[in-house]
Copies of this chain bind each other. A is one copy, B any other.
Amino acid sequence: MAENTDRAGRSASQTVKALLELRELILGGELRPGDRISELAIVERLGVSRTPVRTALVRLAEEGFIEEIPSGGFAVKGFSERDVFDAIDLRGLLEGMAARLAAERSLSAGDLAPIRDVLAATDALIAEAGDNEEFFSGYVALNGRFHEMLWALSDSPVVVRQIERVSALPFASHNGFVMAQSAAGEARTILAVAQDQHRCVVDAIEAREGARAEALMREHARLASRNLRTVLRNRTRMDLVKGGSLIR
């Protein structure tokens, strides 16, 4: 049972193992849209019995990666280009609500300090670093921290839960197109705009400008839409988009 452990080193359940590995198989493109998922094939492949595989399949269906076949079993789901645009828009809408709530609900004095730290760290990263892949993976981490902290500022479990659901589709998430964008010439410009939007949202929250905070996050998601449009024009960079194989 050596490799059957989670990141913290604790032994992970077979169900979690099946869930993670199945998700990778789907997102990595080994299981293609429309493919029926044979439980026994997965059992052989993952070395886990049918029960946890089944549980993982139910979870993945709820997450939106697969769908029930009327005659039984599951098949990998595919997404139209418009589906992806809609999902990104949806995320902007929900993150906009989170930002508005953060602005409307009175915060204690120091509540914005941590997210401002992330802003500063991102500034430093952009100022210092070059164009290499290390830079972009650093950005991905900071960007993720920013978004998750913003969600938390809404202080609304219901909203956070909903955002997480939409963001489960990786191409709809806040980091969905960062790596693809990294290979584009306009990358630095878009990054600068994104960072400015981040800062403006925090300012708006601090100033209790709910409507502005909401509008900013909705527009912020449009950056992802633009990246998506670019990638769709020339699909060569699509393999940098996690789950890109699900987009038809």
Contact = CB atoms under 8 A, between A and B. Distances in A.
A83 B165 contact: no
Interface stretch (A52-60, A142-150, A192-200, A229-237): A52-60
B158 A87 contact: yes
Contacts of A64: 161
A11 interface: no
A158 B93 contact: no
Contacts of A51: 51
Classify the interface of chain A: helix, strand, loop or mixed: helix
Nearest to A169: B158
Interface in A75-116: 79, 82-83, 86-87, 89-90, 93-94, 97, 101
Given A93-B97, A97-B93, A165-B165, A159 B59 contact: no
Contacts of A97: 89-90, 93
A157 interface: yes
A109 to B, nearest CB: 22
Interface in A161-179: 161-162, 165-166
A192 to B, nearest CB: 29
Contacts of A89: 97
A166 B93 CA distance: 14
A156 interface: yes
Interface of A: 51, 54-55, 58-59, 62-64, 79, 82-83, 86-87, 89-90, 93-94, 97, 101, 156-159, 161-162, 165-166
- Chain A to chain B: the 10 pairs with minimum beta-carbon distance, closest first: A62-B62, A86-B158, A86-B156, A58-B58, A87-B158, A83-B158, A93-B97, A86-B159, A55-B58, A93-B93
